[in-house]
Amino acid sequence: MSLISVTELNLAIKKSLDGSEFRALEVVGEVSGYKISGPHAYFTVKDEQSAISCASFYCAKKYQPKDGEQVIIKGGLDFWTKRGSVNLVADEIQPYGNGLLALKFEELKKKLEAEGLFNPEHKKPIKKFNKNVLILTSKTGAVIRDIKTTIRNKNPYMDIVVKDVRVQGDGAGEQIAKALKNCDKLGYDVIVIARGGGSLEDLAPFYDETLARAVYDAVTPVVSAVGHETDFSLIDFVADRRAATPTAAAELVAFDYYELLSNISALMEYSQRALSRKFSNKLRAFELCQAKFSRSGETFYASKQAKLVASFTKLSQNVRRVLNQKIIKVKELNLKMLALLSASVQSAEERSGRAFAKLDGLSPLKVLSRGYFKVSVGGTELSSVKPIKKGDSVKAVGSDGSFEAQVTKVDLRKE
């Protein structure tokens, strides 16, 4: 065995690695320790079992990955004889897996932003008092249960309509966009697009360009509620409002019925107290004036007092009328709100009432109770005096009984 120097060994290794089989490589791995030094970058790519050093010369001209990102490195091996180390020299770097998805989504985001789809002036306000809400989500997930429970805890009267759509997988974004277009002009106060959290790949339908444009074109205000608080999808930027979670979206679109009812009751009580105080003040002022005039001379001021009493009476009536009107208006507001919430029940009750009233008005007993009698001769009911003859025996039936009588005289009205 002949002795060789370190340089000779390293040159031999370099020569063997300079072969064509190590020149056109495509290596998949995770980036670690990416650092830029001058015009070049140095880092490591690794998998679960191994790692290799990499160099990216003139890195500004190539894709610059982040630590932890999966990439595809196209290039070849280079053996540095002075240090005796092998490096993978990257001719091209491409994102892989979620990294590639993220890059595509970022490019689409920039495109739509440049077109003005994210501009605040295009966003529609969300109503404070929504009566009906449409939820676009999967009926099989926990998301819809959370949304319904949250809304019902605040408002038992809101209409909640759920449109079942796929929220994951190929074609899900287009399906949601189609459902949104079909439901957009059906009169809903607000539409919520929701799903739970997941990976970037799971949330891919909500980065769909077709869905983003459908949200932008919608006439109905749209709330985006996709993923967890830290998740951001493309439709978050296009929607009129973004909710951090589906539960937060439910809190946003539902107004607190119980709080509103409490506020109206408190306002009514305050108004009643204020009007009562005003009336009491006017009454005391009148009593002081009355006492002053009485001391100055009862005879001289008798007529004045009478006018004051009349004026006070009129004032009292006006104050009471105003007070009653204010109370009635406040009650009407409350009743209108309750009437709107229970319109279907009230409509049914009104129809039933009208039917019963009509039946009651047609009842023969109702007619008899007003003093009329049903008269018959020989079992034949009479509607005219002409068939009656002197000496006939007639029977009269009223609301509380009947009697029989004999006709002694018949007078016919002359026409």
Give the chain as a 3 state SS string: CCCCCHHHHHHHHHHHHCCHHHCCEEEEEEEEEEEEECCEEEEEEECCCCEEEEEECCHHHCCCCCCCCEEEEEEEEEEECCCCEEEEEEEEEEECCHHHHHHHHHHHHHHHHHCCCCCHHHCCCCCCCCCEEEEEECCCCHHHHHHHHHHHHHCCCCEEEEEECCCCCCCHHHHHHHHHHHHCCCCCCEEEEEECCCCCCCCHHHHCHHHHHHHHHCCCCEEEEECCCCCCCHHHHHCCEECCCHHHHHHHHCCCHHHHHHHHHHHHHHHHHHHHHHHHHHHHHHHHHHHHHHHHCCCCCHHHHHHHHHHHHHHHHHHHHHHHHHHHHHHHHHHHHHHHHCHHHHHHHHHHHHHHHHHHHHCHHHHHCCCCCEEEECCEECCCCCCCCCCCEEEEECCCCEEEEECCCCCCCCC
What pLDDT, on the 0 to 100 scale, is given for residue 44?
A: 92
**Per-residue pLDDT band at 140 (split at 50, 70, 90):** confident
Residue 285 pLDDT greater than 90, yes or no:
no
**Per-residue pLDDT band at 102 (split at 50, 70, 90):** low
Q: Same domain, yes or no, for 12 and 128?
A: no
Q: Same domain, yes or no, for 92 and 116?
A: no
Q: Same domain, yes or no, for 107 and 250?
A: yes
Q: Same domain, yes or no, for 118 and 59?
A: no
What pLDDT, on the 0 to 100 scale, is given for residue 400?
A: 80
Q: Model-level pTM?
A: 0.47
Q: Same domain, yes or no, for 203 and 116?
A: yes
Read off the CATH number of the domain in which 157 is found.
3.40.50.261
Residue 345 pLDDT greater than 70, yes or no:
no
Q: Same domain, yes or no, for 144 and 214?
A: yes
Per-residue pLDDT of 366-414, as tens digits, reads 665 666 778 888 778 877 877 888 888 888 887 788 888 888 888 877 6
**Per-residue pLDDT band at 66 (split at 50, 70, 90):** confident
Domain count, the chain: 4
Evaluate whether residue 358 is within a structural domain: no
Q: Same domain, yes or no, for 272 and 314?
A: yes
**Per-residue pLDDT band at 71 (split at 50, 70, 90):** confident
What pLDDT, on the 0 to 100 scale, is given for residue 126?
A: 92
Q: What is the mean pLDDT of residues 73-101?
A: 83
Q: State which residues form the domain around 279.
A: 258-346
What pLDDT, on the 0 to 100 scale, is given for residue 270?
A: 84
What percentage of the chain reaches a pLDDT higher than 90? 28
Q: Same domain, yes or no, for 233 and 215?
A: yes
Domain boundary residue among 75, 96, 117? 96
Domain boundary residue among 215, 234, 255? 255
